[in-house]
Amino acid sequence: MKKFKRCQSCGMPLNKDPKGSGTNTDGSKNNMYCSYCFEKGKFLQPDITLDEMETLVREKMKEMGMPGFMARLLTMGTSKLERWKK
Ligand SMILES: [Zn+2]
């Protein structure tokens, strides 16, 4: 399986994930998504849209003390992640 540096759903660097990554149905590590997006083989927010995800991530980054323009810059790549590729 290809190993990703960033969660392919929200774009968070996987090394910033306290749990390391999301998990598959059998409890093994999933190398594609973070634990905030993906647990036990399922998306935690299966119906979220790309727009909603970008907003969510921006809010989260602001909460963490990141300036607005930085948060915007970092979420610009969200649409290129595997989950959102058309
Ligand atoms: Zn994620």
- Give pLDDT tens digits along the chain (86 positions): 578 999 999 998 899 899 999 999 999 999 999 999 999 999 999 999 999 999 999 998 899 898 989 888 888 889 999 999 97
Evaluate whether residue 21 is within a structural domain: yes
Number of structural domains (the chain) is 1
Q: What three-state secondary structure class fits 13?
A: strand
- What's the gap in Å between 70 CA and the centre of ligand 1? 18
Distance CA 67, CA 81 (A): 23
Phi, psi of 6 (to 5 degrees): -120, 150
- What's the gap in Å between 73 CA and the centre of ligand 1? 17
How much is the pLDDT for 73?
85
Distance CA 86, CA 70 (A): 26
Contact 34, 22 (CB under 8 A): yes
pTM of the model: 0.86
Range of the domain at 27: 14-84
- What's the gap in Å between 28 CA and the centre of ligand 1? 17
Phi, psi of 4 (to 5 degrees): -105, 150
Evaluate whether residue 34 is within a structural domain: yes
Evaluate whether residue 4 is within a structural domain: no
